[in-house]
Chain A
Amino acid sequence: MLIVALVSVFIVRLADIQVVNAAQLNEQSDERRTSTQVLHGARGDIVDANGTVMATSVDRWAVTISPMHTRDIELEDGTTITVGQMLKQLGEITGQDPNALAAALQAETDKDAESNYLVLATGLDVEQYEQVRQMRTDWQLPYIDLESRPERTYPLGSVGGNVIGFEGTYGESLAGLELMQDACLAPTDGSRLAEVSPDGTEIPGTVRVDQPAVNGGTLQLTIDSDLQFSTQQILAQYQEDFGARSATAIVLRKDGTVAAIAETPTVDPNNPQAIDPQFRGARTFTNAYEPGSTLKSVTLAAMIDQGHVDVEDEWTVPWQYQQGPVVLNDSFVHGDMPWTTTGILANSSNVGMVTMAEGFDRSILYDYFADFGFGETSAIEFLGEQPVQLRDPATLDDQTTANQMFGQGIAVTPIQMASSYLPFANEGKRPPVQLVSGCTNQEGETASPKVGDPVQVLKPETASDMNEMMEVMVNESSQDFGIDGYRISAKTGTAEVAYPDGSGYDPNAWIISTTGVFPTDEPEYVVHVMIEYPIPSMRTTGAVGAFHDIVNLLIRHDSIPPSTTEPSDLDVEW
């Protein structure tokens, strides 16, 4: 009977162990025998059009300490390593003030006497990591630990920093493509289980990979980092010379892909705090401004495309215009000039533009504005990009209606202004602008962003006419920004800046710009340059110098040979 009872007890216990609590016991057993390790996947790189790495992830470490266990350590040879010594040595390695480290340690202990975790330093590179590890081993410091914290690094610094964006202290994406394309770049962590001996050594053959880590994808941009760097360098020099607040340059290939988006000042993603917050983003997409005379090419193209005017029409243009409540004048005093339509554009005459626009239906003009890409975000849809809604032409007063013909009373973003010249380089078609070429995942599969179809904005002959007229503008300019042997089409602009409250224009604030197409006969690039708030003495110089140097750079970069066709012979006067 006793035997039967004993066997019954054993059977019940066996069932309890093998069936009822099997899972829990297995788990407890695994906890004792196995070590679970998180497998960190690497965040994907951001590379330029040629594969040059612009952003990548590197191993970095944080030094953590257990304040409650921090004490003087006596070594086997009788030497005592004090906490002060440790902090001094750590400070020498990390470049921190040992007193500040001691203060942080004391503050943590005062706050919580049983605190077991405090981060003393972050961002240690390989050399510093090795030094701290050596210190910990030599001095047998049980209370110090090194925690892996991969960080983002940007080998090219601020080259394209405005669009690439940056991460925060804890690796969170905060701006630019880092944030916009997080789905492509972010890795998926995995886990790894292995049985270990009491000293932590993995037992061979017991490794079980539960889930492998998946690295983030590689994001390829359309930007050429060499061009981007050189454009930023040119721009920064002009900004310094002009005493300007900032400057922007956009280089688009004729197919709408972005070759460079240069802004200065530009954030260096390696150290975003080093720059004023207003310059940490991409102003190309977020800042609206009144374009001024660079918009004349757009409004004139609409009138020519509709047959409202012709390139060789003859006009008599005074320097002032007054019709009812509308009063305006040209930027320089002149008599009644016998200008052709080309002459009006070449001389950037406000009076001429408004005179030509008499009787032109503004609702048609607004349709053209929409086709040119104004009033909507670009196809890039950059973070915080402004669509800058177009106002209903029926609600505009007469003065604003007139002013819009020469780029006042309408706001655009720099990317809108640049892409509005794409129809001149594409026989009247405007392809969507594109910044991201594709995302390639770990398996090598590339996903390209969906790009819309080009919009036929102008008739091909209108685009050709406009290129010739703008070429005449370059060749007739007193500012000498053409390049001998090359055909370049461009339009300059000097725009006033309105007060934020709409009470008028700030007499000391100007935005000088130049936008153009190059080469005229076989367009390859659209270049847009703007210098914001130059010192007054430099205002009349315009942005033509920077435009010239960027076109010069493109010729050298692509080894573009001189044009083989004759320049335009359109008449300026009749």
Chain B
Amino acid sequence: MSTAALRQRDAERDVETGSERAEKPGLRALPRWRPRSGPKLIHGAVALAGLAGIVIAQLGVSVALADGAMEVKDIQTQTSEAKLHQQAMSEQLATLESPQQLASTAQGLGMVSSEQQHFISMATGEVTVGADAPKQTAQALNSGGLLYVPNELVQSQVQLDDATGKAALAAQQEREEQGYPGMLEPVEGVAADD
């Protein structure tokens, strides 16, 4: 390398060093070390308050759940009681609509099956004769007062109705013997049945 070239290189190096010096900060002293201060009271208070909040919230949720559970249990009890009530009513209804009950009630009311059945033609209005009278009049109760077609569920009801009916009849007769306002008197001149 020539002397001039060397001079040129040194000059360039001086320029570079000068610009670096200009950009880099200068040395400065570090802040003085201080030991970390202990937790402040406020932090403890916040933590405790948070903990208390969590406990209270948990208690609240537990109380609400327990309350809800009790409520659910109450509702379940009410539901099962309602179901039992419904079952009791359904059983009563089934007994009341059984054919034995209907037949004995009808018989008690003096109803009998029709003697002769008739058909009316919707087209012509003509009346034709249908089934004749049965040879036996259908009866619900036999000569012993028992159902011809037994039903343990109804028999007691029939007896009950019978007993109630007799008691009501006896009470009515007693009232009529004593007389009461508005009682219908036999028409004069009409012979009483012997």
Contacts and interface: CB of A to CB of B under 8 A. Distances in A.
Given A204-B72, A549-B134, A552-B134, A155 B153 contact: yes
B84 A562 contact: no
A229 interface: yes
Interface in A430-453: none
Nearest to A486: B131
A230 B131 CA distance: 16
Interface residues of B, number: 43
Nearest to B117: A556
A225 B69 contact: no
A236 B73 CA distance: 52
Contacts of A225: 99
B152 A126 contact: no
Interface in A116-153: 125-127, 129-130, 153
B149 A552 contact: no
A234 B136 contact: yes
Which of B149, B151, B153: most chain A CB closer than 10 A? B149
Interface in B80-131: 84-85, 87-88, 91, 94-95, 98-100, 103, 113, 117, 119, 128-131
B153 A157 contact: yes
B91 A156 contact: no
Given A157-B152, A270-B152, A561-B119, A556 B87 contact: no
A125 B69 contact: no
A191 interface: no
B54 to A, nearest CB: 21
21 contacts: A58-B91, A155-B153, A156-B99, A157-B147, A157-B150, A203-B65, A204-B69, A204-B72, A229-B149, A230-B99, A230-B138, A234-B134, A237-B148, A240-B142, A274-B150, A484-B129, A549-B134, A552-B131, A552-B133, A555-B131, A556-B113
A158 B151 contact: yes
A232 B148 contact: yes
Interface string A533-574: 000000000000100110011011001011000000000000
Contact of A59 (B66, B87, B103, B148): B87
Contacts of A268: 150-152
Contact of A158 (B66, B142, B150): B150
B132 to A, nearest CB: 5
A169 B69 CA distance: 38
Contact of A233 (B94, B128, B138): B138
A126 B135 contact: no
Given A233-B103, A266-B150, A58 B87 contact: yes
Interface in A189-228: 197, 201-204, 225-226
Interface of B: 65-66, 68-70, 72-73, 84-85, 87-88, 91, 94-95, 98-100, 103, 113, 117, 119, 128-136, 138-140, 142-143, 147-154
A53 B97 CA distance: 11
A266 B149 contact: yes
Contacts of B65: 203-204
Contacts of A553: 134
A408 B78 CA distance: 67
A562 B134 CA distance: 16
Given A126-B88, A483-B131, A226 B99 contact: yes
A232 B98 CA distance: 14
A155 B95 contact: yes
A168 interface: no
A237 B138 contact: yes
Interface in A259-287: 264, 266, 268, 270-271, 274
A346 B27 CA distance: 144
B151 A270 contact: yes
A238 interface: yes
A241 interface: yes
Interface of A: 53, 58-59, 125-127, 129-130, 153-159, 197, 201-204, 225-226, 229-230, 232-234, 236-238, 240-241, 264, 266, 268, 270-271, 274, 483-486, 545, 548-549, 552-553, 555-556, 559, 561-562
A236 B148 contact: yes
Contacts of B88: 125-127
Nearest to A196: B69
A403 B130 CA distance: 40
B148 A555 contact: no
A164 to B, nearest CB: 13
A96 to B, nearest CB: 17
B130 A555 contact: yes
Contacts of B85: 126
B150 A126 contact: no
A238 B136 contact: yes
Given A125-B88, A234-B136, A545-B136, A157 B69 contact: no
Contact of B129 (A197, A236, A485, A552): A485
Contacts of B119: 559, 561-562
A28 B106 CA distance: 64
Q: Which 3 A-B pairs have the closest CB atoms?
A: A157-B151, A270-B152, A155-B94
Contacts of B151: 156-159, 268, 270
Which of A127, A155, A486, A555: most chain B CB closer than 10 A? A155
Contacts of B130: 485, 555-556, 559, 561-562
Contacts of B150: 157-158, 266, 268, 274
Contacts of B153: 153-155, 157, 270
Given A155-B153, A549-B134, 5 more contacts: A155-B91, A225-B99, A229-B100, A545-B135, A556-B117
A298 B100 CA distance: 38
Given A157-B98, A159-B99, A201-B69, A548 B135 contact: yes
Contact of B149 (A232, A548, A562): A232
Contact of A155 (B98, B147, B148): B98
Contacts of B69: 197, 201-204
A234 B142 contact: no
B121 to A, nearest CB: 9
A527 B57 CA distance: 79
B87 A562 contact: no
Contacts of B66: 197, 201
